[in-house]
């Protein structure tokens, strides 16, 4: 199976338009992939995901931190106000985060605040296949991580989210 649209048939701007949202509010990753590969980009989700993850791995710490900070809080203010990207909205709804009780929203709010205060970026987890109870448990457990561990964990989750988004584009083809 190949991605749709076929990345190998796109010019740089069209490629960035089609795949720039794979990493939340960070189209620079798609642009760097296209430029690094001189337009000969992979047409399979797994291969494009690896190329994008490699760009992120080579980025400096400030770029990585900016990418992490581009992610919304889970079940946070953006979700409540309807200000999520379509992908984030669908992912959070798929995990039942739009069905939280008042107590669960309060728990997410408290965890979001504690996590952001400690790490200076939002909690990030690939929620596909998870429910809100599992997310809350992972959230609480990861608060005990060191900054370095959590930074790397968050980047790994971002790459997982990107891979899942690309796989969804491949499955619809």
The residues annotated with a catalytic role in the active site are 71
Smallest Cα–Cα separation from 74: which of 26, 123, 142, 110? Answer: 123
Torsion angle, alpha carbons of 103, 93, 74, 106, to 10 = -10
Helix 132-142 vs helix 102-119: crossing angle, to nearest 10: 30
Dihedral sign, CA of 89, 93, 99, 105? negative
């Amino acid at each position: 199976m190949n991605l749709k649209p076929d990345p190998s048939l796109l010019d740089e701007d069209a490629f960035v338009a089609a795949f720039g949202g794979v990493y939340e509010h960070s189209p620079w990753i798609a642009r760097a992939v296209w430029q690094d590969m001189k337009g000969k980009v992979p047409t399979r989700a797994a291969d494009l995901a690896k190329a994008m993850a490699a760009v992120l791995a080579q980025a400096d710490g400030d770029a990585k931190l900016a990418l992490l900070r581009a992610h919304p809080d889970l079940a946070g203010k953006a979700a409540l106000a309807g200000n999520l990207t379509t992908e984030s909205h669908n992912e959070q709804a798929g995990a039942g985060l739009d069905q939280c009780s008042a107590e669960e929203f309060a728990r997410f709010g408290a965890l979001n605040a504690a996590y952001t205060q400690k790490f200076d970026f939002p909690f990030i987890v690939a929620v596909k296949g998870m429910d809100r109870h599992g997310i809350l448990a992972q959230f609480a457990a990861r608060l005990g991580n060191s900054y370095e561990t959590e930074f790397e964990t968050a980047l790994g989750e971002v790459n997982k989210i990107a891979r899942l988004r690309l796989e969804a584009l491949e499955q619809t083809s």
